[in-house]
Amino acid sequence: MITEQPTRRFVPIAALLVAVGLTTLSVGAQTTMQTALTAAYAKYKDLKEGKNADYIPALAAVDPNLFGIAIVTADGKVVTAGDVKTEVSIQSISKVFTMARVIQDDGPGAIERTIGVDATGMRFNSIVSVEFAKKIGGGPEMNPLVNPGAITATSMVQGASADEVWAKIIGTYNDFAGRGLSVMQDVYKSESDTNQRNQAIGMLMHAYEYIKSDPARATDLYTRQCSVGVNAKDLATMAATLAFGGRNPVTGKQAIATENVPYVLAVMATAGLYDDSGKWLYHTGLPAKSGVGGGIIAVSPGKFGIAVVSPPLDDAGNSVRAQRAIRDISAALNGNPYGAGVPRPVATSGR
């Protein structure tokens, strides 16, 4: 249920702007975006660094040359470069939208109290981080973007049956993407056959009473959500929905309440690129999220949502080409929210 928006009082002004065509992206701005995307695509197309994830066998078989970039603007314009149609599995990017569902239904306090909103400083599927969180204060010292927190967040989506919970999860993703998404069955099967570690994490989270319902069901739903197929355009639309107050700029549908968006973005900024989240934020200032399928989404609040799909990953599990391309494009478009509109050159050192 979407609550009434605090931004409602601005609607007459927005309506007026639409009426006189002022919210439409200017041709110049669209050309600047296209130039930035085309340049990044050309620069990184032949980059061979990184390696597909292979701990889920189906991911190892994905074409490593797949490379697509999409950006979605306030008025729903989609600017692209490369292959933005081929689907990959959404993987950990799904965690953002399940978290958004829980925040929308239960309020931001539920995530903060039950899971936490702090970086763990450990790998995304760390079990030690759970033990550590218990030891240092007994309280939640995790976040919904690492597996223990993510499986717990999935368990918090309410529903009388697994089907009901799934309908809520996929319905939320569809609202953000602006179309009906489906599970890639080959990935779901491959991940279900090899997700013993996540099953163990689910059990542990149940033993420690973070998960109050059946942990096997939560882990299975989590595995299913990770297997949803998306292309670069879907992901950019999902990112843009977060960039523009929870309203999908392509369909006009309010996916989550505007007041809940800052909580989602804050966790993305804190933990979206796992061990490299600080480094990423340092260079881009953009809340972002990666997935081992090769996608990364990033949000420039009020400006654009961007996504890149390219399967080869670095040691931290983040797509190599996606990180580089988003960094360049955002610099060219002054996307850094901390930059206050001042043009920033792309740093020549570091990743």
Query: Which residues here bind ligand DON, judged by CB under 6 A?
Result: 91-92, 124-125, 147, 191, 198, 226, 290-292, 317
What is the spatial distance between Cα 287 and Cα 193, in angstroms, rounded to a whole number? Answer: 32
Cβ atoms 34, 63 nearer than 8 A = no
C-beta closer to ligand DON: residue 257 or 296:
296
The least distance separating ligand DON from the CB of residue 195, rounded to whole angstroms, comes to: 7
Cβ atoms 305, 250 nearer than 8 A = no
C-beta closer to ligand DON: residue 5 or 270:
270
C-beta closer to ligand DON: residue 92 or 241:
92
Nearest residue to ligand DON by CB is 92
Closest of 169, 152, 171, 145 to residue 92, by C-alpha: 145
The least distance separating ligand DON from the CB of residue 186, rounded to whole angstroms, comes to: 14
C-beta closer to ligand DON: residue 257 or 275:
275
The least distance separating ligand DON from the CB of residue 304, rounded to whole angstroms, comes to: 22
Distances from the Cα of 2 to the Cα of 6, 106, 133, angstroms: 12, 12, 33
The least distance separating ligand DON from the CB of residue 327, rounded to whole angstroms, comes to: 17
The least distance separating ligand DON from the CB of residue 24, rounded to whole angstroms, comes to: 36
The least distance separating ligand DON from the CB of residue 191, rounded to whole angstroms, comes to: 6
C-beta closer to ligand DON: residue 126 or 290:
290
C-beta closer to ligand DON: residue 141 or 191:
191
Distances from the Cα of 144 to the Cα of 64, 68, 147, angstroms: 28, 27, 7
What is the spatial distance between Cα 274 and Cα 289, in angstroms, rounded to a whole number? Answer: 9
Cβ atoms 291, 93 nearer than 8 A = yes
Closest of 235, 222, 302, 226 to residue 262, by C-alpha: 302
